Amino acid sequence: MRLRDENKETLIREQAIALIVQEGFDGLSMQKLAKAANLSASTIYIYFKSREDLLNQVYLAVDEIFAKEVLKNFDPAMSFEEGLWQQWKNRYKYVQKYPLHYHFSEQFRNSPLIKHQDIKESPFRMAMQQFTKNAIQRKEIVDLPPEILWALAYGPFYILIKFHLDQSSMSGKPFSLSEQKMKQAFQLVVKALRA
Amino acid sequence: MRLRDENKETLIREQAIALIVQEGFDGLSMQKLAKAANLSASTIYIYFKSREDLLNQVYLAVDEIFAKEVLKNFDPAMSFEEGLWQQWKNRYKYVQKYPLHYHFSEQFRNSPLIKHQDIKESPFRMAMQQFTKNAIQRKEIVDLPPEILWALAYGPFYILIKFHLDQSSMSGKPFSLSEQKMKQAFQLVVKALRA
DNA sequence: TTTAAAAGAACGAACATTCGTTTATCTTTG
DNA sequence: CAAAGATAAACGAATGTTCGTTCTTTTAAA
């Protein structure tokens, strides 16, 4: 009996991400993917039962890595300012470390392929809920519906990330994010939310 | 000579949007589109010279409507608080009036199909630049790089829109946006940006 | 230690569809 | 009648998936 090569599954996933980021979902054909991963198209079907299954598994794997990276050096017991800053830094590092993953996620999340059902009780979500609950109880920040709090806490960050990755710019010069500029935006967010 | 039916061009565009929102870019085939618009596939090629051209024209048309809607009752000479609030309201109304357009835009913008080159000097962009410039000169708001200002001014709004459209939720109950909740978030943004 | 059966991995070829696009023909209208 | 709109039919290429077969490795009997 021949052993299943776990690396191969990862290889297929990563090549799929690369193809999708380069050419969009149209661009991901099983044959192109096979060529990119240096396999026969039929081999892919040993690891994934269909194209749709492949896409879902890719998204799941990407999301798992994200959740792990973003919880590094984070503790729900942290003060709001310290904890939120850690979140911003972790997310910034994640985007730098896995830019293809991020692009893929954004594409997938905005496509109809995503299934909105599973609001699973992930440790990640739990940690976040505890974190904001603590901050409100300690009266570090104003008491707000969680969605509004989240919008204020992360909205500006993700716009900056978009500017950064697109190299896009308001007004002439290309925009590049730095920890300093991030801090500047962060301080304003804290100012908005402070009780 | 037979006259070109302008409505047909619009019909094709709108059906394309509907198909893409439902099924993603994979789902938009010329034959499906023809069926949906009740024409022959070859007829589409009278109005658009290729699939790619069609997609670009759809995006352009969508963007034009957006720019028009979002400038309603807006004047760059307005005070920052009044003007930004008008922007939020306009964008909220736009999303409610053209939800398919919005979904399409989000998909297109996050896909590789978008061409990042044209940072054209649209009247829309000009108005926005003048608006923020005024606000800073009048010392209504803190002096910031335009990207950071933009991130603070619109980031929270778009997160709320996403929650709203996805019916998604932090914590149990589905989230639905209202002008009141929007105002609550808006006041916090103003607090952050006020000089 | 040698050998060969077992079993899953891997593959190339082929499947029926569907793809985007073109062409040749017909229809409508100025 | 002329010119442009509209179409059905057809094009080769590409799609996702399956099939029968071959390779590769493990296992255990000889």
Q: What is the pLDDT of residues B13-38, one digit of tens each?
A: 999 999 999 999 999 999 999 999 99
* pLDDT tens digits, A13-68: 999 999 999 999 999 999 999 999 999 999 999 999 999 999 999 999 999 999 99
Residue of A nearest to B142 (CA): A188
The pLDDT > 90 percentage for chain B reads 83
Per-residue pLDDT, averaged over A135-141, amounts to: 96
DSSP string, A74-116: --TTS-HHHHHHHHHHHHHHHHHH-HHHHHHHHHHHTSTTS--
Average pLDDT over residues A109-134: 85
Residue B57 in contact with residue B45, Cβ under 8 Å? no
Query: What residues of chain B, 142 to 161, have a C-beta less than 8 Å from chain A?
Result: 142, 144-148, 150-152, 154-160
Of B165, B26, B155, B18, the closest CA to residue B95 belongs to B165
Q: How many residues are listed for chain B in this entry?
A: 195
Distance CA B59, CA B90 (A): 19
pTM: 0.94
Residue B185 and residue A148: Cβ atoms within 8 Å?
yes
Torsion of CA B190, B83, B99, B58, to 10 degrees: -130
Query: Is the model's pLDDT at B2 over the cut of 80?
Result: no
pLDDT at B193: 97
| Partner residues linked to A194 by β-bridges | A141
Contact yes or no for B155 and A150 at CB 8 A: no
pLDDT for the residue numbered A156: 98
Give residues with Cβ within 8 angstroms of A10, minimum separation 6.
A61
Nucleotides on chain C within 7 angstroms of protein Cβ: 6-14, 18-24, 27-30
Span A67-106, pLDDT tens digits: 999 999 999 999 999 999 999 999 999 999 999 999 999 9
Q: Which of B112, B160, B189 shows the shortest C-beta gap to A22?
A: B112
| pLDDT bracket for residue A170 (50, 70, 90) | confident
Query: CB A26 to CB B26 under 8 A?
Result: yes
Asked whether A48 and A54 are in contact (CB, 8 A), the reply is yes
Task: Write down the pLDDT at residue B117.
Answer: 58
Residue A120 has pLDDT above 80, yes or no: no
- Per-residue pLDDT at A4 exceeds 80: no
